[in-house]
Amino acid sequence: MKLSSIGEFGLIEKFKKGILFAQRSVIVGIGDDAAVLKISKESKYQLFTTDMLIEGVHFDLSYTSPFQLGWKALSINISDIAAMGGIPTFALVSLGLKKDAPVKFVEDIYQGIKRVAKRFSVDIVGGDTVSSSRLTINISLLGEVERKNLILRRGAKPGDSIFVTGTLGDSAVGLAFLKRANHPLSITQKTIRAHLTPLPRLKEARALAQTQKVSSMIDVSDGLSSDLIRIAEASKVGVKIYADKIPLSFASKKGSKLLKKEPLDFALYGGEDYELLFTVPKSQAGKLSSQFTKKVKTHLLLIGEIIPPEEGYQLLNYKGRTIRLKAGGYNHFSRGSVTDNTLYEEKLK
């Protein structure tokens, strides 16, 4: 059997099966944005996550600077800690470097990491440096969360409202432009920034966690459809979202038009937005919104609701027809990123 037949998530499921925990302190192991560990009798949990970026798979040096790379590598790890409701603390940075890489280039990667570390008060306490035929950056990050503020993927219940911060699809639009040599910067700048130098929604995540009303949360790394389905699977529920409620930025709409593609496609299947996708019991939704906006200016948008598991995954399209929401987005070992119109149109039929 080849990896391509089971895909990234099938593979992780296989790994998970053989793993038994010798430590009683593992509260959540494989399967959420970060592991949750009970390391002391304090009222806090330790969070632990890692992410790897590899040249040719996650980035292309023809349009990514080393500074941006370092920035993104740490940002996406912080995003996973944020998605648990926690704050990041300590990082290990491991680099696989080509032998002929200029020292300045590597220093620039580190400058990007340091910039984000400073911004979010993360301490870099170690790592590993090896030679590699492909540039590789792996960051492991610890974090912590008050036990009462921990938010997992698995707490969504039928009737809950589904919310998202910010706008979706910008990063994928930016990537599409980066892959083209010529693009009008006046229109594409915002989306390209979203792709190359994303910022984790840490402040927002903390404000949400502190309301203690959020029933489940994930950060959007693979695309709205895939990540929402991961909440649904973990919570054993169905989901229904409305196409006309999905937040699309002006930049993404304009950019998509230039690319002759649907901005909704980028939002559903694009990924790497690092926005927060979360659920709240309907009766609490209004109160949560007002509590949140008192602390943070970021927009929260209600995009759908959790439904019973037997009703499956639904998308109410622009024509008012309910169709099946399928996981798109990036899956290592399977087909690449699904950001083409054909799939979307297929759904609309």
Asked if 47 and 147 touch (Cβ cutoff 8 Å), the reply is: no
- With binding defined as CB under 6 A, does residue 15 bind ligand ADP? yes
**Strand pairing partners for 54?**
136
Sign of the Cα pseudo-torsion (202, 169, 114, 38, in order): positive
Complex with ligand ADP: residue 39 or 257, whichever CB lies closer: 39
Complex with ligand ADP: residue 11 or 39, whichever CB lies closer: 11
Nearest to 218 by CA among 230, 206, 207: 230
- With binding defined as CB under 6 A, does residue 32 bind ligand ADP? yes
Whole-angstrom distance, CA of residue 74 vs CA of residue 92: 10
Complex with ligand ADP: residue 35 or 251, whichever CB lies closer: 35
Question: Cβ–Cβ contacts within 10 Å for residue 126, how many?
Answer: 10
30 binds, among ligand ADP, Mg ion, none (CB under 5 to 8 A by kind): ligand ADP
21 binds, among ligand ADP, Mg ion, none (CB under 5 to 8 A by kind): none
- Residue 121, Ramachandran bin (φ over 0: left; ψ between -120 and 50: alpha; else beta): left
Complex with ligand ADP: residue 15 or 21, whichever CB lies closer: 15
Instruction: Mark the segment that binds ligand ADP (CB under 6 A) among 27-35, 142-150, 190-198, 336-344.
Output: 27-35
Minimum CB separation of residue 130 from ligand ADP in Å reads 18
- Number of residues binding to ligand ADP, judged by CB under 6 A: 9
Q: From the list 3, 30, 57, 125, which residue makes contact with ligand ADP (rule: CB under 6 A)? A: 30
Residue partners of 76: CB distance under 8 A and separation at least 6: 51, 198, 200, 221, 274
Q: Which of residues 250-309 bind Mg ion (CB under 5 A)?
A: none
Minimum CB separation of residue 327 from ligand ADP in Å reads 12
Amino acid code (one letter) for 186: S
Q: Nearest-5° angle of CA 43, CA 231, CA 136?
A: 80
Whole-angstrom distance, CA of residue 191 vs CA of residue 289: 26
- With binding defined as CB under 6 A, does residue 272 bind ligand ADP? no
Q: Which of residues 167-226 bind ligand ADP (CB under 6 A)?
A: 221
- With binding defined as CB under 5 A, does residue 80 bind Mg ion? yes
Minimum CB separation of residue 140 from ligand ADP in Å reads 11
- With binding defined as CB under 5 A, does residue 51 bind Mg ion? no
- With binding defined as CB under 6 A, does residue 3 bind ligand ADP? no
- With binding defined as CB under 5 A, does residue 227 bind Mg ion? no
Minimum CB separation of residue 173 from ligand ADP in Å reads 20
Complex with ligand ADP: residue 14 or 134, whichever CB lies closer: 14
Whole-angstrom distance, CA of residue 136 vs CA of residue 159: 43
32 binds, among ligand ADP, Mg ion, none (CB under 5 to 8 A by kind): ligand ADP
Minimum CB separation of residue 321 from Mg ion in Å reads 31
- With binding defined as CB under 6 A, does residue 57 bind ligand ADP? no
Q: What is the 3-state secondary structure (H, E, C) of 9-27?
A: HHHHHHHHHCCCCCCCCEE
- With binding defined as CB under 6 A, does residue 31 bind ligand ADP? yes
Q: From the list 32, 219, 222, 273, which residue makes contact with Mg ion (rule: CB under 5 A)? A: 219
Asked if 32 and 45 touch (Cβ cutoff 8 Å), the reply is: no
- With binding defined as CB under 6 A, does residue 314 bind ligand ADP? no
| The token pair that represents 307 in the structure block | 């439904």
Asked if 306 and 157 touch (Cβ cutoff 8 Å), the reply is: yes
Residue 46's H or E segment, with its range, is: strand 44-54
| The token pair that represents 60 in the structure block | 């292309």
Sign of the Cα pseudo-torsion (255, 261, 262, 265, in order): negative
Tell me how far the alpha carbon of residue 271 is from its chain's centroid: 7
Q: Which of residues 107-166 bind Mg ion (CB under 5 A)?
A: none
Binding site for Mg ion (CB under 5 A): 33, 80, 219, 221
Binding site for ligand ADP (CB under 6 A): 12, 15, 30-33, 51, 80, 221
